[in-house]
Structure 1
Amino acid sequence: MEDTPTADTTAARPARVRPSEATLRRLERASGSLATQAVARMDEELSWFRAMPADQRSWVTLVAQAGIASLVEWCRNPGRPPRLTGEVFGAAPRELARAVPLKQTVDLIKVTVEVVEARVTQVAEPGEAEPLRLAVLQFSREVAFATAHVYASFAENRGAWDARLEALVVDALVRGDRSEELPGRAAALGWATTGPVLVLVGAAPSAERDSRAGVRRAARSLRSEVLVGVHADKLVVVLGGVDGLGAVAERVCREFGPGPIVVGPQVDSLARAAESAAAALAGLRAAAAWPDAPRPVDAEALLPERALDGDPVARTELAERVARPLEAAGGEVLDTVRAVLAHGGNLEGTARALFVHPNTVRYRLKRATELTGCSITDPRGAWTLQLALALTRLEGSRSLWH
């Protein structure tokens, strides 16, 4: 059975002897030289410290001196924990945490404590070296716990700030903001690429799933830069930094909720990402008109539906890519396309109506496909051609009335 201490044994146990006020005053006076010695030893033993900029090294000297001053206050009031933020790190815990990782900070504390321990006999009043040494060891333990807390708080605050900044960047893209500040804000989040960028949008998954974390893991597994935001019920993802962004988009799509996912056109930089976002959002609004669309689907593949939904950019692109090339090719090609559309794709009927051989019809349709990228023998291509020509004629008739 374990022995239980009695009143006599408790009374016999010596009380902890604190350093006297005279010793603490001597420690205060020596704090400057102790901090200088500690930094000199850091320079000898820590190669990464030698590589630090001069301003950061001098700041570490001040922190070491403030730490010794905090030791003195702690010895006078041993019941309270060290106040690292106000007394030791001063007004810049964020700057310290950015410049020096937690592991390196522990190394700095260790060196400082060892230097103070080595000078205990010189600093303490006669007969008080041991109490001062014990106080230094206990204080170093308290500092270790408090330092970990400071870094944890910094990481938590930094995470909340990054999340807010990321939300602001994504929201700006959704609103069509082409501000030159966007790349700078993204750089603050770690976005380093200046290469191609694309935006994809779709339904956000259920609230139970952490969509942002899943998207980030998926994108970074393929070495892609990524920004993620939830705008209303839509998940908006910005990808960049690698070749083959289409493959990254395919992988990231698994993290979306049910329904269509639209991929905006690839642009050359984050400064133009709002263009990709606008096309993707317009495509998502119009995607319901194409129930059998692939998932994901390019915003450009949805040009007909977007045009019907009133997207002026889609109407202009249909005119530039489809209608005007046919008009520029000459009447025969354009008339043949219209005739085939009017005859429901029947090439023989079209040939009879135009008084030409069916092979002539085929040749002209091949030429139309080369000019527009739309094959009239494909239902989707025929739909795109028919809509583009109809919208162009409408625009032309309106211009005659104005």
Structure 2
Amino acid sequence: MSFQNTKHFTLKLITSEHIMGAFYRFHRMQQNISLSNFAKQLRMNKGFLSELENGKRHFPDGLYIQLNHLLHLQFNTDIELWHQSRKTLFTLFDFFFLEQNDSIQQLCENFDNQESILSNSYGFFVCLIIKIFYYLRIQRDNSKIIEIKNIIDTHIDCLQNDELSIYYCFLGIFYKRSVSTNSIALDYFKKSNQLCSPNSSVNAMNTFQLVSVYSELNKYIIAYEKCIECKPLLRQYNNYSRLITIDMFECITLTNMHMFDESKKKLLNILSSTNNGTFNYCQDQIYHNLAWNALLSQNYEECIHYTNLAKDAGDPSPDLCYFIPFSLYKLNKPLNALNECSKVIKECDHFYIPFIEAISAKIQNKNNDFETKINIYYKSLLKNSNYEDIPLIQNFILDYYEEAHDKEMMINILKDIKLNNEDKLNFKTSLL
């Protein structure tokens, strides 16, 4: 029986037989057909079938027709379908990188019409990456993403490096959605960058995403460095939309590094360029960052001012709920602070309720309630790896124990502050 010639794809040696074998193995297992039973149906040696499925043998001429019949499939051996799948993936990624949402929608609709053909070809595993994007950005479905991830990870050797780099980038974005999984996201972005070209849009996207990842992991210096590194990459692609976002992140990282004057100056310049129509920055985000800068630099009147402007501009950020109550408390306006606590607690995100309750308890000298609520909030920040708010809360707790003359707890919180400065603080290492 004659064999097909091996076709080598570009970039690394992945044979067409390897992908075809993996395709049929996957579908056989999906239909709960054992290797032995399937070999009997094919009147084939079990070991030979296993080697076929693992890409170690050439497929005999016409065998795929018999496999299609037994598994009720329609595998097409036209190599152009693989090239078409790759082109769709790369084009989709570029549209995503450039935030061309209308083009993304149109391309996804075209893919829907062709998916059956492309997925029953050498493009099967490439199509799975496209579907991850679909469930990541179009129809958000985490369970589907995990399901597809498990399939791809089992057949990771069926993908080219450039395909893998996009796959890992998508996974990085997926895990970046939750602060608690930022470390996983970081690993995927790094893996993606190891496989892509330094001048590629994938590298630019990874660098862009790493800015917020490092910031949320309390690595503000690296986050700032990534901001500087990212700008020329984005300019290379004329990606001004993401450049605007990077400008904002640069201000945030400067604030978190306590370079308050530099951050404020840059934010006011951005606000000025927005007001005169030079660039289209989101005013609510600018006001939010000015409020955060004022809060950390203890300019509480200014914080209240910018928080109100952010709210009036429609800023949906949930953390705004505590800016005004905390500022009023620090301004020694207890009645105003209590009124604000009562107001925001009815509408704020559940995550922030313990902090609002702690502020209220502190004002009313309900020490037991304060310790309970602030500990709940502090632990939730650590559990969710939400390090951006940690220094503010640590100082709040330290002030309380200094007033209470509780030296043991003062030492514990000071040790936590030291651990945080050394990037060693987490839910398990905390002494509170």
Pairwise same-fold verdict (TM > 0.5): no
Which protein, 1 or 2, shows the higher relative CO under an 8 Å CA cutoff with sep ≥ 6?
A: 1
- In terms of Rg, which structure is larger? 1
Structure 1 or 2: more helix by fraction: 2
Give the TM-score taking structure 1 as reference length: 0.29
